Structure 1
């Protein structure tokens, strides 16, 4: 058994680690709450612009001019652009590893050429380590606004509109709840508007909206804004997932450290008890020898 000095040193070391992970847990919890609020506040707008896009696309299906909107066109996929959203830092449990494994699995299934855009340092390092074609990398602040991410959306729109790529896929950690983050690979371009059945289209036509100058022009303006919004909201979800995963990881680390301290404390008490018992036996033996 280790000496009492060694045990005290180990208890002190593990206790200090528990203090650090406990502090990191509280910081992550604060950031998690803020990020989750941002996701909840942004979700209604993201959902609404998607609904509007679905309505316009349904009406455009009967308008030959509107069917020429570039970002809605589906063409043969010769090159795919993969956008990987990852944290800048680790200590987030299995989140980064899961993102990298899903990305590796996805690109293995791509038929044809592909390039990548990395959002976050972990993603940038992954692309460099695996030797993939890195088209661009972006870094966004811990509390992103739409202005911080709009350049990403515009680049995606430009790459697709210029036909340098034929498909854009975004891979990120979708926020479900504090304990669950789902790795999601979603197609951004070409845009797939929500489907409308014939009854819904009929109701839209009855409203008799006037589109100036045309449905096509409205879609040409709306779809890029839609892409920018979807990129922004996906990054918000990625941040909420990151801080949630880090908070849980630090909580588990703190709990494990405390359990280790408890075990070491029991070992220390046992070692002290054995030391005291040995000293008492020596004293009793010495007294008996003197009396004999």
Structure 2
């Protein structure tokens, strides 16, 4: 049975931990507020751009645009976006589990491009091929870095290193709900059921020139959007995890305080009994 000194030491330790988790929750909440607006404001643009690009690709010959060229798949690339740090509940574990399932189900040769330290470290220990890695993205994604990553992915696709590229990231819905998902990035294909004759466009200066400028931009926007969603999900998951940790610490402190008070009361009772027994012995 722990002594009063042990209980007091544990209460102090847990209270210090509670202060840390409460501070981490407040920091994560502040970071989430900053990036949540960017996520919400960017979604309409990204959705409309994806719709327009899908219509344009459906109405053109895929062979005219290298980024939309569908070819025999000899190697698949999965871009896994995780966090650089932990203490975010099941955020990283859920993404890694989804990536593992996709790799296990993949019958074709596959490789990873990791964004974030957690995913990189996990799959490096398991000897999975990692073509590229990007670390230390900070609290908010940099559009310049997103453009660099997107251009590198497009180059791997155009060079024939990868024949398909997928994004694995977590879509942000709220601080308590983040859903891991897989989106196809390359080649750029029209949405299911899209009919080429359903949309007619007038191109200036020409169809090839317009699509040649739009498709790379579309890939950059999709990568940047995935990074924003992932970072907002990370902050939301960390805020929720630290909130639960703070509440659990409060419950542990309450239980330990009750045990401490019982131990102190038992000690006081024992001393009173000893005093009474000593007084009776002197009579």
Note if 1:142 corresponds to 2:139: yes
Structure 2 counterparts to residues 47-126 of structure 1, below 5 A = 47-60=47-60, 64=61, 67-126=63-122
- Aligned equivalents of 2:111, 2:147: Cα separation in 1: 20
C-alpha displacement at 1:195, in angstroms? Answer: 5.1
236-245 or 124-133, larger mean C-alpha shift: 124-133
Q: 2:162 aligns with which of 152, 160, 165?
A: 165
Instruction: Name the SS of the counterpart of 1:13 in structure 2.
Output: helix
Say if 2:84 and 2:116, in contact at 8 Å, map to a contact too. Answer: yes
Give a deviation string over 1:127-147, Cα, whole Å, max 9, x none. Answer: 311112221111323222321
- 1:36 is aligned to 36
- Aligned equivalents of 2:16, 2:197: Cα separation in 1: 64
Note if 1:218 corresponds to 2:210: yes
- 2:191 is aligned to 194
Q: 1:257 aligns with which of 216, 236, 249?
A: 249
Unaligned runs of 5+ in 1: none
Q: 1:153 aligns with which of 150, 153, 165?
A: 150
- Aligned equivalents of 1:258, 1:79: Cα separation in 2: 51
CA, structure 1 residues 109+151, in 2 after alignment: closer, same or farther (shift >3 Å)? same
Instruction: Name the SS of the counterpart of 1:213 in structure 2.
Output: coil
- Aligned equivalents of 2:74, 2:212: Cα separation in 1: 24
C-alpha displacement at 1:201, in angstroms? Answer: 5.3
Q: 1:240 aligns with which of 208, 224, 232?
A: 232
Instruction: Name the SS of the counterpart of 1:118 in structure 2.
Output: strand
Give a deviation string over 1:37-69, Cα, whole Å, max 9, x none. Answer: 221121122112112213322432xxx5x6521
When the two chains are superposed, the root-mean-square deviation of aligned CA atoms in Å is: 1.8
C-alpha displacement at 1:174, in angstroms? Answer: 1.4
Say if 2:157 and 2:186, in contact at 8 Å, map to a contact too. Answer: yes
Note if 1:2 corresponds to 2:2: yes
Say if 2:57 and 2:189, in contact at 8 Å, map to a contact too. Answer: no
Say if 2:79 and 2:167, in contact at 8 Å, map to a contact too. Answer: yes
C-alpha displacement at 1:287, in angstroms? Answer: 2.5
Runs of 4 or more, structure 1, over 6 Å off, are none
Q: 2:266 aligns with which of 274, 284, 290?
A: 274
Say if 1:141 and 1:148, in contact at 8 Å, map to a contact too. Answer: no
- Aligned equivalents of 1:83, 1:90: Cα separation in 2: 19
238-247 or 120-129, larger mean C-alpha shift: 120-129
- Aligned equivalents of 2:73, 2:88: Cα separation in 1: 35
Q: 1:228 aligns with which of 220, 223, 231?
A: 220
- Aligned equivalents of 1:109, 1:147: Cα separation in 2: 34
Say if 2:79 and 2:113, in contact at 8 Å, map to a contact too. Answer: yes
C-alpha displacement at 1:9, in angstroms? Answer: 0.8
